[in-house]
Amino acid sequence: MKRSTIGHWQRLGSETVYSCRVFSLARRRNRSPRTGQAHDFFVLESTDWVNIVPLTADDQVVLIRQYRHGVDGITLEVPGGMVEASDPSPLHAARREMREETGYDADDIVTLGSIHPNPAIQDNRCHTFLARDAVKRFEPHFDTTEETEVVLVPLREIPELVRQGQISHALVVVAFYWHHLMRNP
């Protein structure tokens, strides 16, 4: 691949214009390396996120249905959430989310990859993991704004659920893509 000729924009300043539980909105003033002109950009600053693909020994994927306020509808997803300050690592956060949202756990958890969810306007990453031989060990427990329904789906059915739009969360589609790449190098 050809080496990039694009320069790095110089940060002139940054201020938080809004802050809530899940993100802050920052106004960043940056200077163009090409024109020298300064421009304002708005960035959602957030902690990193995680998601995890729990797979049982008989190739069932442990999915969750949950209501999502952004789309005002119910989605079908893998467990996931925010890396909290108390989490020693993204892997720890992913395992915690899997336990909380599904009651499933696994001792064999591997990294699938890490991406920028939307680098145009966000500064965080989403780390994705695979939990092999997941088993139900707990009852799910939720914070005050969460409620999920656990659904077991054969792994072979996932591509069709994506094609049909039943799995429509971009980060979940990426998780299954990485899983596919791991199984088919």
Structure confidence by residue, pLDDT tens digits, 100-140: 999 999 999 999 999 999 999 999 999 999 999 999 999 99
**How many other CB atoms are there within 10 angstroms of residue 152's CB atom?**
14
116 domain-assigned: yes
3 domain-assigned: no
| Planar angle of CA 20, 24, 26, nearest 5 degrees | 145
Same domain, 140 and 62: yes
Is the per-residue pLDDT at 148 higher than 90?
no
Query: Given its phi and psi angles, is residue 171 left (phi above 0), alpha (psi -120 to 50 degrees) or beta?
Result: alpha
Split into its structural domains, the chain has a count of 2
pLDDT digits (tens, 9 = 90+) for 23-82: 999 999 999 999 999 999 999 999 999 999 999 999 999 999 999 999 999 999 999 999
Q: Higher-confidence residue: 145 or 9?
A: 9
Between CA 94 and CA 131 the distance in angstroms is 9
Same domain, 56 and 142: yes
With a pLDDT cut of 90, the percent of the chain lying above it is 91
Is 102 in a helix, a strand, or coil?
helix
